[in-house]
Amino acid sequence: MTTTAPLRALVELADTGSIRAAAQRLVVTESSVSSAISALGSGGGLLTAGMSYLIVK
């Protein structure tokens, strides 16, 4: 995945509500989406910001 892939995965996850649907939209495996989201968790609070977006949405 590219350097923007984790953020794209997060956006697709927010839009679709599921890892499976996000993976289909991104044309990658569910494992790739899951790994990308996990990578955000180690990025200093990006995952927290993303989850806040999901809750507000």
Stronger pLDDT, 16 or 43, i.e. the higher one: 16
**Mean pLDDT of the chain, nearest integer:** 79
Give dist(CA 45, CA 29) in Å, integer: 25
Question: pLDDT of 30-43, one tens digit each?
Answer: 999 998 888 877 66
What's the average model confidence in pLDDT over 12-36?
Answer: 93
51: domain range? 5-56
What's the pTM value of the predicted model, to 2 decimals? 0.69
- Please state the domain count of the chain: 1
